Structure 1
Protein backbone atom coordinates (compact mmCIF):
# COMPACT_ATOMS: atom_id res chain seq x y z
CA UNK A 1 0.00 0.00 0.00
CA UNK A 2 1.26 3.48 -0.89
CA UNK A 3 0.92 6.65 1.18
CA UNK A 4 1.27 10.16 -0.24
CA UNK A 5 2.16 13.25 1.77
CA UNK A 6 3.14 16.86 1.13
CA UNK A 7 6.03 18.40 3.03
CA UNK A 8 6.79 22.14 3.18
CA UNK A 9 10.05 23.74 4.25
CA UNK A 10 11.53 27.21 3.72
CA UNK A 11 8.80 28.30 1.31
CA UNK A 12 8.76 25.25 -0.96
CA UNK A 13 6.98 21.89 -0.96
CA UNK A 14 7.57 18.39 -2.18
CA UNK A 15 5.14 15.49 -2.53
CA UNK A 16 6.39 12.09 -1.37
CA UNK A 17 4.88 8.71 -2.19
CA UNK A 18 6.02 5.88 0.09
CA UNK A 19 5.78 2.19 -0.77
CA UNK A 20 6.87 -0.91 1.10
CA UNK A 21 8.93 -1.17 4.24
CA UNK A 22 12.27 -2.32 5.60
CA UNK A 23 15.79 -1.76 4.37
CA UNK A 24 17.32 -0.54 2.17
CA UNK A 25 15.44 2.74 1.99
CA UNK A 26 15.45 4.02 -1.59
CA UNK A 27 14.66 7.68 -2.32
CA UNK A 28 13.97 8.43 -6.00
CA UNK A 29 14.61 11.95 -7.33
CA UNK A 30 13.42 12.73 -10.86
CA UNK A 31 14.98 14.85 -13.59
CA UNK A 32 14.04 18.09 -15.32
CA UNK A 33 10.43 18.23 -16.50
CA UNK A 34 9.55 14.91 -14.90
CA UNK A 35 7.72 13.74 -11.75
CA UNK A 36 7.51 10.75 -9.47
CA UNK A 37 5.20 8.81 -11.80
CA UNK A 38 8.12 8.02 -14.12
CA UNK A 39 9.53 5.76 -11.40
CA UNK A 40 6.61 3.32 -11.26
CA UNK A 41 8.52 0.50 -12.94
CA UNK A 42 11.74 1.10 -10.99
CA UNK A 43 9.82 1.14 -7.70
CA UNK A 44 8.21 -2.16 -8.65
CA UNK A 45 11.67 -3.72 -9.02
CA UNK A 46 12.99 -2.28 -5.74
CA UNK A 47 10.55 -4.16 -3.54
CA UNK A 48 13.34 -5.52 -1.34
CA UNK A 49 13.05 -2.36 0.80
CA UNK A 50 11.07 0.84 1.26
CA UNK A 51 10.78 3.19 -1.72
CA UNK A 52 10.05 6.93 -1.51
CA UNK A 53 9.31 8.69 -4.82
CA UNK A 54 9.39 12.48 -4.83
CA UNK A 55 7.70 15.25 -6.80
CA UNK A 56 10.10 18.19 -6.55
CA UNK A 57 8.72 21.75 -6.20
CA UNK A 58 6.78 22.70 -9.31
CA UNK A 59 6.75 19.18 -10.75
CA UNK A 60 4.11 16.45 -10.71
CA UNK A 61 1.64 17.23 -7.92
CA UNK A 62 3.96 19.53 -5.95
CA UNK A 63 2.96 23.22 -6.02
CA UNK A 64 5.06 25.83 -7.75
CA UNK A 65 7.31 27.70 -5.32
CA UNK A 66 7.32 31.49 -5.33
CA UNK A 67 10.82 31.36 -6.79
CA UNK A 68 12.54 28.53 -8.68
CA UNK A 69 14.92 26.72 -6.36
CA UNK A 70 18.60 26.21 -7.02
CA UNK A 71 19.94 22.67 -7.09
CA UNK A 72 21.48 23.28 -3.66
CA UNK A 73 18.23 24.53 -2.13
CA UNK A 74 16.35 21.60 -3.61
CA UNK A 75 18.84 19.24 -1.99
CA UNK A 76 18.31 21.04 1.33
CA UNK A 77 14.55 20.54 0.97
CA UNK A 78 14.93 16.82 0.24
CA UNK A 79 17.25 16.45 3.25
CA UNK A 80 14.83 18.36 5.49
CA UNK A 81 12.03 16.00 4.49
CA UNK A 82 14.14 12.91 5.18
CA UNK A 83 15.17 14.21 8.60
CA UNK A 84 11.66 15.28 9.60
CA UNK A 85 9.53 12.46 8.19
CA UNK A 86 11.86 9.49 7.72
CA UNK A 87 14.64 9.66 10.26
CA UNK A 88 17.05 7.11 8.84
CA UNK A 89 19.79 7.15 6.17
CA UNK A 90 18.75 6.47 2.60
CA UNK A 91 20.09 5.33 -0.72
CA UNK A 92 19.36 8.51 -2.68
CA UNK A 93 18.87 7.78 -6.38
CA UNK A 94 18.81 10.71 -8.77
CA UNK A 95 18.07 10.58 -12.49
CA UNK A 96 19.41 13.25 -14.85
CA UNK A 97 18.96 16.59 -12.99
CA UNK A 98 17.99 14.48 -9.99
CA UNK A 99 21.56 13.15 -9.95
CA UNK A 100 22.77 16.70 -9.28
CA UNK A 101 20.36 16.90 -6.35
CA UNK A 102 21.39 13.49 -4.99
CA UNK A 103 25.04 14.58 -5.18
CA UNK A 104 24.34 17.78 -3.25
CA UNK A 105 22.38 15.86 -0.61
CA UNK A 106 25.47 13.71 -0.02
CA UNK A 107 27.79 16.73 0.07
CA UNK A 108 25.64 19.03 2.18
CA UNK A 109 23.83 16.47 4.37
CA UNK A 110 26.06 13.40 4.69
CA UNK A 111 24.08 11.92 7.57
CA UNK A 112 20.96 11.75 5.42
CA UNK A 113 22.42 9.78 2.49
CA UNK A 114 24.30 6.58 3.22
CA UNK A 115 24.79 5.93 -0.52
CA UNK A 116 23.95 7.72 -3.75
CA UNK A 117 23.15 6.52 -7.26
CA UNK A 118 23.66 8.99 -10.11
CA UNK A 119 21.72 7.80 -13.16
CA UNK A 120 22.38 9.57 -16.47
CA UNK A 121 23.98 12.47 -14.55
CA UNK A 122 23.87 16.03 -15.87
CA UNK A 123 25.36 18.53 -16.63
CA UNK A 124 28.31 17.49 -18.79
CA UNK A 125 30.65 20.55 -18.78
CA UNK A 126 31.33 19.94 -22.48
CA UNK A 127 27.67 20.78 -23.21
CA UNK A 128 26.77 23.35 -20.54
CA UNK A 129 24.32 25.38 -22.60
CA UNK A 130 20.60 25.11 -23.22
CA UNK A 131 20.90 24.44 -26.98
CA UNK A 132 23.47 21.67 -26.50
CA UNK A 133 21.57 19.99 -23.69
CA UNK A 134 18.28 20.16 -25.60
CA UNK A 135 19.90 18.81 -28.76
CA UNK A 136 21.34 15.84 -26.86
CA UNK A 137 18.01 15.20 -25.14
CA UNK A 138 16.03 15.34 -28.39
CA UNK A 139 18.45 12.96 -30.11
CA UNK A 140 18.20 10.57 -27.17
CA UNK A 141 14.40 10.71 -27.05
CA UNK A 142 14.26 9.92 -30.78
CA UNK A 143 15.47 6.37 -30.09
CA UNK A 144 13.13 5.78 -27.14
CA UNK A 145 9.86 3.89 -27.15
CA UNK A 146 6.50 5.63 -27.70
CA UNK A 147 5.63 4.87 -24.05
CA UNK A 148 8.64 6.81 -22.79
CA UNK A 149 7.97 9.71 -25.16
CA UNK A 150 4.29 9.92 -24.17
CA UNK A 151 5.02 9.83 -20.45
CA UNK A 152 7.82 12.39 -20.77
CA UNK A 153 5.62 14.76 -22.80
CA UNK A 154 2.86 14.57 -20.18
CA UNK A 155 5.25 15.37 -17.35
CA UNK A 156 6.85 18.27 -19.22
CA UNK A 157 3.41 19.83 -19.66
CA UNK A 158 2.75 19.42 -15.92
CA UNK A 159 6.08 21.11 -15.11
CA UNK A 160 4.40 24.44 -15.77
CA UNK A 161 5.33 27.83 -17.19
CA UNK A 162 8.62 28.15 -15.28
CA UNK A 163 10.39 25.30 -17.05
CA UNK A 164 12.90 27.67 -18.65
CA UNK A 165 13.94 29.01 -15.25
CA UNK A 166 14.17 25.46 -13.90
CA UNK A 167 16.36 24.51 -16.84
CA UNK A 168 18.59 27.48 -16.10
CA UNK A 169 18.93 26.43 -12.46
CA UNK A 170 20.08 23.01 -13.64
CA UNK A 171 22.62 24.45 -16.07
CA UNK A 172 24.31 26.86 -13.65
CA UNK A 173 25.00 24.11 -11.12
CA UNK A 174 28.53 22.70 -11.44
CA UNK A 175 28.62 19.12 -10.13
CA UNK A 176 32.30 18.79 -11.05
CA UNK A 177 33.13 21.32 -8.32
CA UNK A 178 31.68 19.21 -5.49
CA UNK A 179 32.22 15.59 -6.58
CA UNK A 180 35.34 15.18 -4.45
CA UNK A 181 33.38 16.19 -1.32
CA UNK A 182 30.81 13.39 -1.58
CA UNK A 183 32.03 11.11 1.18
CA UNK A 184 29.60 8.22 0.68
CA UNK A 185 29.72 5.22 -1.69
CA UNK A 186 28.40 6.24 -5.09
CA UNK A 187 27.22 4.36 -8.16
CA UNK A 188 27.25 6.15 -11.52
CA UNK A 189 24.78 4.43 -13.82
CA UNK A 190 24.27 5.18 -17.51
CA UNK A 191 22.43 3.60 -20.40
CA UNK A 192 24.73 2.23 -23.05
CA UNK A 193 23.29 4.62 -25.65
CA UNK A 194 22.77 7.65 -23.38
CA UNK A 195 23.57 10.79 -25.41
CA UNK A 196 22.87 13.20 -22.54
CA UNK A 197 25.39 11.61 -20.18
CA UNK A 198 28.24 10.42 -22.44
CA UNK A 199 30.75 7.80 -21.24
CA UNK A 200 33.67 10.19 -20.80
CA UNK A 201 31.63 12.45 -18.49
CA UNK A 202 30.33 9.53 -16.44
CA UNK A 203 33.85 8.10 -16.16
CA UNK A 204 35.11 11.47 -14.94
CA UNK A 205 32.39 11.55 -12.28
CA UNK A 206 33.15 8.03 -11.05
CA UNK A 207 36.89 8.71 -10.96
CA UNK A 208 36.50 12.02 -9.08
CA UNK A 209 34.14 10.68 -6.43
CA UNK A 210 36.07 9.41 -3.39
CA UNK A 211 34.22 6.06 -3.54
CA UNK A 212 32.68 5.87 -6.99
CA UNK A 213 32.08 3.14 -9.52
CA UNK A 214 30.58 3.19 -13.03
CA UNK A 215 28.15 0.67 -14.53
CA UNK A 216 26.30 0.62 -17.86
CA UNK A 217 22.86 -0.74 -18.71
CA UNK A 218 23.01 -2.40 -22.15
CA UNK A 219 20.49 -1.40 -24.78
CA UNK A 220 19.18 1.69 -22.97
CA UNK A 221 19.46 5.44 -23.43
CA UNK A 222 18.99 8.34 -21.04
CA UNK A 223 15.62 7.10 -19.76
CA UNK A 224 17.06 3.81 -18.53
CA UNK A 225 14.95 3.86 -15.33
CA UNK A 226 11.67 4.48 -17.18
CA UNK A 227 11.71 1.91 -19.99
CA UNK A 228 12.11 -1.58 -18.52
CA UNK A 229 13.88 -0.64 -15.30
CA UNK A 230 14.68 -4.24 -14.30
CA UNK A 231 18.36 -4.12 -15.32
CA UNK A 232 18.99 -0.77 -13.62
CA UNK A 233 17.16 -1.99 -10.50
CA UNK A 234 19.32 -5.10 -10.29
CA UNK A 235 22.50 -3.01 -10.31
CA UNK A 236 21.03 -0.62 -7.73
CA UNK A 237 20.00 -3.47 -5.42
CA UNK A 238 23.47 -5.03 -5.63
CA UNK A 239 25.09 -1.69 -4.85
CA UNK A 240 22.75 -0.95 -1.94
CA UNK A 241 23.68 -4.24 -0.28
CA UNK A 242 27.44 -4.03 -0.73
CA UNK A 243 29.40 -4.54 2.48
Structure 2
Protein backbone atom coordinates (compact mmCIF):
# COMPACT_ATOMS: atom_id res chain seq x y z
CA UNK A 1 0.00 0.00 0.00
CA UNK A 2 1.44 3.45 -0.89
CA UNK A 3 2.42 5.72 1.97
CA UNK A 4 0.70 8.85 3.16
CA UNK A 5 3.05 11.66 2.13
CA UNK A 6 1.16 14.89 1.45
CA UNK A 7 -2.02 14.95 3.51
CA UNK A 8 -1.64 16.73 6.88
CA UNK A 9 -2.27 14.66 9.99
CA UNK A 10 -5.93 14.60 10.95
CA UNK A 11 -7.16 15.07 7.37
CA UNK A 12 -8.49 11.89 5.75
CA UNK A 13 -6.76 10.87 2.53
CA UNK A 14 -7.63 8.39 -0.18
CA UNK A 15 -4.34 6.69 -1.14
CA UNK A 16 -4.00 3.91 -3.65
CA UNK A 17 -3.13 2.79 -7.16
CA UNK A 18 -4.94 3.23 -10.47
CA UNK A 19 -4.20 1.18 -13.58
CA UNK A 20 -5.20 1.96 -17.15
CA UNK A 21 -3.92 0.53 -20.44
CA UNK A 22 -1.16 -1.39 -18.67
CA UNK A 23 0.29 1.52 -16.67
CA UNK A 24 -0.19 2.27 -12.97
CA UNK A 25 -0.08 5.56 -11.07
CA UNK A 26 -0.26 6.20 -7.33
CA UNK A 27 -2.72 8.79 -6.03
CA UNK A 28 -3.12 10.67 -2.76
CA UNK A 29 -6.41 12.59 -2.64
CA UNK A 30 -7.33 14.80 0.32
CA UNK A 31 -9.20 17.96 1.24
CA UNK A 32 -12.55 19.21 -0.02
CA UNK A 33 -13.98 21.56 -2.60
CA UNK A 34 -14.51 21.96 -6.32
CA UNK A 35 -11.70 22.47 -8.82
CA UNK A 36 -9.21 20.08 -7.20
CA UNK A 37 -5.55 20.86 -7.82
CA UNK A 38 -3.88 17.86 -9.44
CA UNK A 39 -0.09 17.78 -8.96
CA UNK A 40 2.06 16.35 -11.75
CA UNK A 41 5.78 16.06 -10.96
CA UNK A 42 8.81 16.40 -13.20
CA UNK A 43 11.23 13.82 -14.60
CA UNK A 44 12.87 11.69 -11.92
CA UNK A 45 10.55 13.07 -9.24
CA UNK A 46 7.41 11.95 -7.37
CA UNK A 47 4.57 13.49 -5.42
CA UNK A 48 6.74 13.75 -2.28
CA UNK A 49 8.55 16.77 -3.74
CA UNK A 50 5.32 18.76 -3.18
CA UNK A 51 5.44 18.38 0.62
CA UNK A 52 6.17 22.08 1.13
CA UNK A 53 3.76 23.33 -1.53
CA UNK A 54 0.74 21.45 -0.20
CA UNK A 55 1.06 23.19 3.18
CA UNK A 56 0.24 26.45 1.36
CA UNK A 57 -2.60 25.23 -0.86
CA UNK A 58 -6.30 25.32 -0.01
CA UNK A 59 -9.17 23.01 -0.90
CA UNK A 60 -8.88 19.59 -2.48
CA UNK A 61 -5.44 18.41 -3.60
CA UNK A 62 -4.54 15.27 -5.54
CA UNK A 63 -0.88 14.28 -5.70
CA UNK A 64 0.21 11.67 -8.23
CA UNK A 65 3.22 9.42 -8.72
CA UNK A 66 3.38 8.77 -12.45
CA UNK A 67 4.35 5.27 -13.71
CA UNK A 68 7.92 4.40 -12.83
CA UNK A 69 8.37 7.33 -10.44
CA UNK A 70 7.94 7.70 -6.69
CA UNK A 71 5.98 4.73 -5.38
CA UNK A 72 4.40 3.84 -8.74
CA UNK A 73 5.60 0.58 -10.34
CA UNK A 74 7.73 0.61 -13.46
CA UNK A 75 5.61 0.25 -16.60
CA UNK A 76 6.36 -2.43 -19.21
CA UNK A 77 7.34 0.34 -21.62
CA UNK A 78 8.09 4.00 -21.06
CA UNK A 79 5.08 6.24 -21.55
CA UNK A 80 4.98 9.13 -23.99
CA UNK A 81 3.62 12.46 -22.78
CA UNK A 82 0.40 11.66 -24.62
CA UNK A 83 0.01 8.27 -22.89
CA UNK A 84 0.68 9.93 -19.54
CA UNK A 85 -2.11 12.38 -20.35
CA UNK A 86 -4.52 9.57 -21.25
CA UNK A 87 -3.73 7.77 -17.98
CA UNK A 88 -4.26 10.83 -15.79
CA UNK A 89 -7.48 11.74 -17.62
CA UNK A 90 -8.81 8.19 -17.17
CA UNK A 91 -8.06 8.44 -13.45
CA UNK A 92 -9.88 11.78 -13.17
CA UNK A 93 -12.92 10.46 -15.04
CA UNK A 94 -13.22 7.49 -12.65
CA UNK A 95 -13.38 10.04 -9.83
CA UNK A 96 -16.07 12.06 -11.55
CA UNK A 97 -13.75 15.05 -11.84
CA UNK A 98 -14.49 17.47 -14.69
CA UNK A 99 -13.03 20.70 -13.33
CA UNK A 100 -9.44 19.86 -12.33
CA UNK A 101 -6.76 22.52 -12.11
CA UNK A 102 -3.81 20.54 -13.41
CA UNK A 103 -0.51 21.80 -12.04
CA UNK A 104 2.46 20.40 -13.90
CA UNK A 105 6.07 21.05 -13.00
CA UNK A 106 8.81 20.55 -15.61
CA UNK A 107 7.88 17.32 -17.47
CA UNK A 108 4.50 17.56 -15.75
CA UNK A 109 3.80 20.77 -17.65
CA UNK A 110 4.07 18.86 -20.93
CA UNK A 111 1.62 16.24 -19.69
CA UNK A 112 -0.73 18.94 -18.41
CA UNK A 113 -0.88 20.57 -21.84
CA UNK A 114 -1.68 17.23 -23.47
CA UNK A 115 -4.46 16.56 -20.95
CA UNK A 116 -6.08 19.91 -21.77
CA UNK A 117 -5.92 19.21 -25.52
CA UNK A 118 -6.77 15.50 -25.57
CA UNK A 119 -9.24 15.44 -22.65
CA UNK A 120 -10.69 18.95 -22.17
CA UNK A 121 -13.72 17.54 -20.37
CA UNK A 122 -11.70 16.95 -17.16
CA UNK A 123 -9.81 20.26 -16.97
CA UNK A 124 -10.79 23.79 -15.92
CA UNK A 125 -7.32 25.39 -15.86
CA UNK A 126 -3.59 24.68 -16.05
CA UNK A 127 -0.57 25.83 -14.05
CA UNK A 128 2.67 25.27 -15.98
CA UNK A 129 5.60 25.61 -13.57
CA UNK A 130 9.13 25.60 -14.97
CA UNK A 131 7.76 24.38 -18.32
CA UNK A 132 9.99 22.22 -20.49
CA UNK A 133 11.26 21.48 -23.11
CA UNK A 134 12.70 24.75 -24.44
CA UNK A 135 12.27 24.48 -28.21
CA UNK A 136 15.71 26.05 -28.75
CA UNK A 137 17.48 23.40 -26.62
CA UNK A 138 15.83 20.12 -27.48
CA UNK A 139 18.55 17.61 -26.62
CA UNK A 140 19.45 15.48 -23.61
CA UNK A 141 22.90 17.07 -23.42
CA UNK A 142 21.45 20.59 -23.29
CA UNK A 143 18.73 19.72 -20.78
CA UNK A 144 21.16 17.79 -18.54
CA UNK A 145 23.57 20.72 -18.62
CA UNK A 146 20.85 23.15 -17.59
CA UNK A 147 19.72 20.79 -14.83
CA UNK A 148 23.26 20.49 -13.46
CA UNK A 149 23.68 24.26 -13.48
CA UNK A 150 20.37 24.66 -11.66
CA UNK A 151 21.23 22.04 -9.03
CA UNK A 152 24.50 23.79 -8.24
CA UNK A 153 22.47 26.84 -7.20
CA UNK A 154 19.50 25.15 -5.53
CA UNK A 155 18.51 24.99 -1.88
CA UNK A 156 19.58 21.91 0.14
CA UNK A 157 15.97 20.70 0.40
CA UNK A 158 15.71 20.56 -3.39
CA UNK A 159 18.98 18.65 -3.69
CA UNK A 160 18.03 16.11 -1.02
CA UNK A 161 14.52 15.43 -2.30
CA UNK A 162 15.64 15.42 -5.92
CA UNK A 163 18.51 13.00 -5.30
CA UNK A 164 16.25 10.59 -3.43
CA UNK A 165 13.61 10.61 -6.17
CA UNK A 166 16.11 10.27 -9.01
CA UNK A 167 17.47 7.13 -7.33
CA UNK A 168 13.92 5.77 -7.34
CA UNK A 169 13.47 6.66 -11.02
CA UNK A 170 14.42 3.18 -12.12
CA UNK A 171 16.68 1.74 -14.80
CA UNK A 172 14.85 3.47 -17.66
CA UNK A 173 15.48 7.05 -16.54
CA UNK A 174 17.40 7.93 -19.69
CA UNK A 175 14.63 6.54 -21.89
CA UNK A 176 12.09 8.51 -19.86
CA UNK A 177 14.13 11.65 -20.42
CA UNK A 178 14.17 10.96 -24.16
CA UNK A 179 10.37 10.78 -24.09
CA UNK A 180 10.25 14.34 -22.78
CA UNK A 181 12.79 15.59 -25.33
CA UNK A 182 10.99 14.23 -28.40
CA UNK A 183 7.65 15.65 -27.27
CA UNK A 184 6.74 18.99 -28.84
CA UNK A 185 4.51 20.88 -26.41
CA UNK A 186 4.43 23.87 -28.77
CA UNK A 187 2.06 21.82 -30.93
CA UNK A 188 -0.38 21.56 -28.02
CA UNK A 189 -0.26 25.05 -26.52
CA UNK A 190 -2.22 26.88 -29.25
CA UNK A 191 -5.05 24.34 -28.80
CA UNK A 192 -5.38 24.72 -25.02
CA UNK A 193 -8.86 26.08 -24.36
CA UNK A 194 -8.67 26.80 -20.61
CA UNK A 195 -6.97 29.57 -18.59
CA UNK A 196 -3.26 28.98 -18.05
CA UNK A 197 -0.76 30.35 -15.55
CA UNK A 198 2.91 30.04 -16.54
CA UNK A 199 5.26 30.20 -13.54
CA UNK A 200 9.06 30.28 -13.60
CA UNK A 201 11.74 30.81 -11.01
CA UNK A 202 13.85 33.86 -11.74
CA UNK A 203 17.02 31.71 -12.03
CA UNK A 204 15.52 28.73 -13.88
CA UNK A 205 17.75 27.73 -16.84
CA UNK A 206 15.41 24.93 -17.96
CA UNK A 207 12.52 27.35 -18.44
CA UNK A 208 14.16 30.54 -19.77
CA UNK A 209 12.16 33.75 -20.03
CA UNK A 210 12.14 33.60 -23.83
CA UNK A 211 10.54 30.14 -23.79
CA UNK A 212 7.96 31.12 -21.16
CA UNK A 213 7.03 34.17 -23.21
CA UNK A 214 6.63 31.95 -26.28
CA UNK A 215 4.20 29.77 -24.33
CA UNK A 216 2.20 32.79 -23.12
CA UNK A 217 1.99 34.04 -26.70
CA UNK A 218 0.85 30.62 -27.99
CA UNK A 219 -1.87 29.93 -25.42
CA UNK A 220 -5.11 31.84 -26.10
CA UNK A 221 -5.76 32.67 -22.41
CA UNK A 222 -2.46 32.76 -20.52
CA UNK A 223 -0.78 34.87 -17.88
CA UNK A 224 2.75 34.83 -16.48
CA UNK A 225 4.38 35.06 -13.06
CA UNK A 226 8.04 34.98 -12.03
CA UNK A 227 9.15 33.97 -8.54
CA UNK A 228 12.23 35.96 -7.41
CA UNK A 229 15.36 34.18 -6.13
CA UNK A 230 14.23 30.71 -7.22
CA UNK A 231 15.44 28.19 -9.77
CA UNK A 232 13.76 25.19 -11.33
CA UNK A 233 12.66 23.90 -7.91
CA UNK A 234 10.41 26.87 -7.17
CA UNK A 235 7.58 24.53 -6.05
CA UNK A 236 9.79 22.18 -4.04
CA UNK A 237 11.17 24.40 -1.27
CA UNK A 238 10.32 27.83 0.09
CA UNK A 239 7.24 27.63 -2.11
CA UNK A 240 5.07 30.17 -0.30
CA UNK A 241 5.49 32.80 -3.02
CA UNK A 242 4.60 30.40 -5.80
CA UNK A 243 1.66 29.05 -3.81
CA UNK A 244 0.28 32.57 -3.24
CA UNK A 245 0.49 33.22 -6.98
CA UNK A 246 -1.32 29.94 -7.69
CA UNK A 247 -4.03 30.72 -5.13
CA UNK A 248 -4.63 34.13 -6.73
CA UNK A 249 -4.90 32.49 -10.14
CA UNK A 250 -7.37 29.88 -8.85
CA UNK A 251 -9.56 32.58 -7.31
CA UNK A 252 -9.62 34.47 -10.61
CA UNK A 253 -10.97 31.65 -12.79
TM-score normalised to structure 1 length: 0.98
CA displacement, residues 8-61 of structure 1 (integer Å, 9 cap, x when unaligned): 000001000112111331000000000000011111111x21000000000001
Structure 1 residue 5, shift from structure 2 partner: 1.2
Structure 2, unmatched stretches of 5+, are 1-10
Following the alignment from structure 1 to structure 2, what is the Cα–Cα distance between the partners of residues 112 and 49? 18
Instruction: Check whether the contact 2:34–2:99 (CA below 8 A) recurs between aligned residues.
Output: no
Inter-partner Cα distance in structure 2 for 1:52 and 1:108? 20
Q: Which runs of 4+ in 1 moved over 3 A?
A: none
**Which of the numbers 190, 205, 208 marks the counterpart of 2:218?**
208
Partner of 2:177: 167
- What CA deviation, in whole Å up to 9, does each residue of 1:66-90 have, x standing for no partner? 0000000000000000000243311
d(CA) in 2 for partners of 1:83, 1:178:
21
Contact 2:35 2:124 in 1 (8 A): no
Question: For 2:28, what is the secondary structure of its paired residue?
Answer: strand
| Cα distance in 2, alignment partners of residues 24 and 86 from structure 1 | 12
Aligned position for 1:21: 32
Aligned residue number for residue 181 of structure 1: 191
Q: CA deviation at 1:227?
A: 1.2
The CA distance in 1 between the partners of 2:87 and 2:231, in whole Å, is 29
Q: How does the TM-score come out when normalised to structure 2?
A: 0.94
Q: Say whether 1:43 aligns with 2:54.
A: yes
State the superposition RMSD in angstroms.
Answer: 0.9
SS in 2 for 1:111: helix
SS at 1:13 equivalent: strand
Separation in structure 2 between the aligned mates of residue 78 and residue 190 of structure 1, nearest angstrom: 24
Q: CA deviation at 1:92?
A: 0.2
Unaligned runs of 5+ in 1: none
Deviations 1:101-148 (A, max 9, x none): 001000111111100000000000111000000000100111111221
Give yes or no for contact 1:188–1:213 (8 Å, CA) kept in 2: yes
Instruction: List aligned pairs for 1:1-243, cutoff 5 A.
Output: 1=11, 2-46=13-57, 48-243=58-253
SS class of match (1:203)? helix
